[in-house]
Amino acid sequence: MDKLNLDQHISRQFNEDLEEIKTSMLEMGGLVEMQVGDAIRALEDADSGLAEKVIEVESRIDEMEMDIDETCTTLIARRQPAASDLRLVTAVSKAIRDLERIGDEAQKIAKMAIHLAEEGVAPRGYTEVRHIGNCVRKMLNDSLDAFSRFDAEAAIATMKDDRQVDMDYKSALREMITYMMEDPRSISRSMNILWALRSLERIGDHAKNICEHVVYLVQGRDIRHRKLDGDS
């Protein structure tokens, strides 16, 4: 094989490797999306069986994160990618960490669902769980879609949704605390809802992080800790 053909072969193989880590990351994202949806349903229905399934899936998500991270490390060591290729590997490596942490939060929600199945449903908070849950699931889906299309503008638009999630979470938190003060007998069960709401808020944060990785990947800009247009 002459040098030109060898270089073309290496380049083609490298492009295939890059596409593979991106595809693997999105597959992991799809599994995490399913895990979050199942965790929310388990909480709403006090379905301990579904909650146990969510907890079992977590080990698979951990394995995927380690496998993809190892592939990214190997790619950097062997190929020494530059510019946009290096940004892609870096963005994937960071995104899978956020996805793994979203999986952790889904597992926490599932554990709250099991507690509620054992203690009895909480008197308040399910409407808020459903609303915030739908918001963060959309954020997660949109962030992964933006990554798959390398769409920085869509990523920035999705990041802005996190402000509403934060406001809704704070509002729900105030309502739940007020209710527990009025009826101390509800504290134990209501706390399970509060912890679930906290996990949902964190899922929104991690979805926002994935969007930040997309902007870095596409535009080479690190926009962490920076205000977006419209932020106060």
Give the pLDDT of the chain (232 residues) as one tens digit per residue: 443 343 444 577 878 989 999 999 999 999 999 999 999 999 999 999 999 999 999 999 999 999 999 999 999 998 888 888 999 999 999 999 999 999 999 999 999 999 999 988 888 899 999 999 999 999 999 999 999 999 999 999 999 999 999 999 999 999 999 999 999 888 988 999 999 999 999 999 999 999 999 999 999 887 776 666 555 4
d(CA 167, CA 181): 21
pTM of the prediction? Answer: 0.90
The 10s digit of each residue's pLDDT in 79-126 is 888 888 999 999 999 999 999 999 999 999 999 999 999 988 888 899
- CA-CA distances (angstroms) from residue 213 to 113, 173, 228? 32, 29, 15
Comparing CA positions, the residue from 108, 32, 16 lying closest to residue 64 is 32
C-alpha of 139 from chain center? 9
Domains and CATH numbers, the chain: 12-219 (1.20.58.220)
For residues 129 and 176, the answer to whether their CB atoms sit within 8 Å is no
**Residue written as tokens 């399913």?**
34
